[in-house]
Structure 1
Amino acid sequence: MVYVGETSRSLKERAKEHEADVQLRRDKPIPEHFNGAGHGGQNMGISVLTQLRDSSRYYRLIKELDIIKKFETQSPKLLNTKIKKLSSKKYL
């Protein structure tokens, strides 16, 4: 299962947040997936797809959407739900 996400924080910090979401069974796509049958937080892996020199939130969101579309990770078949929220805003 693939999820694409952007952050301005360290990868280690963001990964710990995702792990906590799974442990606390928060109502979010990643915990819902990893707390499902046959899964667990120990199955989670993280890969860096790109690092950006421009640290503006707007630029990160645009790049994130580009990668979500490229890898087709949007919901309902995969975990990215943000594309639905952002495509209705003035970002695009």
Structure 2
Amino acid sequence: MVYVGDTSRSLKERAKEHEADVRLRRDKPISEHFNGAGHGGQDMDILVLTRIRHSSRYYRLIKEFEFIKKFETQSPNGLKTKNQLDVLRELI
């Protein structure tokens, strides 16, 4: 299962948030997945696809959208539940 996301914070900080979501069994797709049958928090791995030095949230969302499409990580194939087109429309 693949999840694509962007963050303006450090990767370390964002990873700790995901780990806490799983450990504390928060009502989030990542927690539900890794706390489901046949999985555990130790199965979670993080891979940086690209580092964007552009500060524009709009630009980051466009790049995130491209990766979501490329790797088909939108639910139900992946863990991404927000519709990225809706997020982009809100910014326009």
RMSD: 1.4
Alignment of 1:3-82 (within 5 A): 3-82=3-82
Quick check: 1:87 aligned with 2:67? no
Q: How far has the Cα of 1:4 moved from its partner?
A: 0.3
Where in structure 2 are there 5+ consecutive unaligned residues? none
Q: Which TM-score applies when normalising by structure 1?
A: 0.90
Q: Which TM-score applies when normalising by structure 2?
A: 0.90
Identity of aligned residues (%): 74
The number of aligned residues is 90
Cα-to-partner distance string for 1:35-63 (whole Å, 9 max, x where unaligned): 00011111100000001121211111111
- Provide the rounded CA distance (Å) in 2 between the counterparts of 1:88 and 1:14: 23
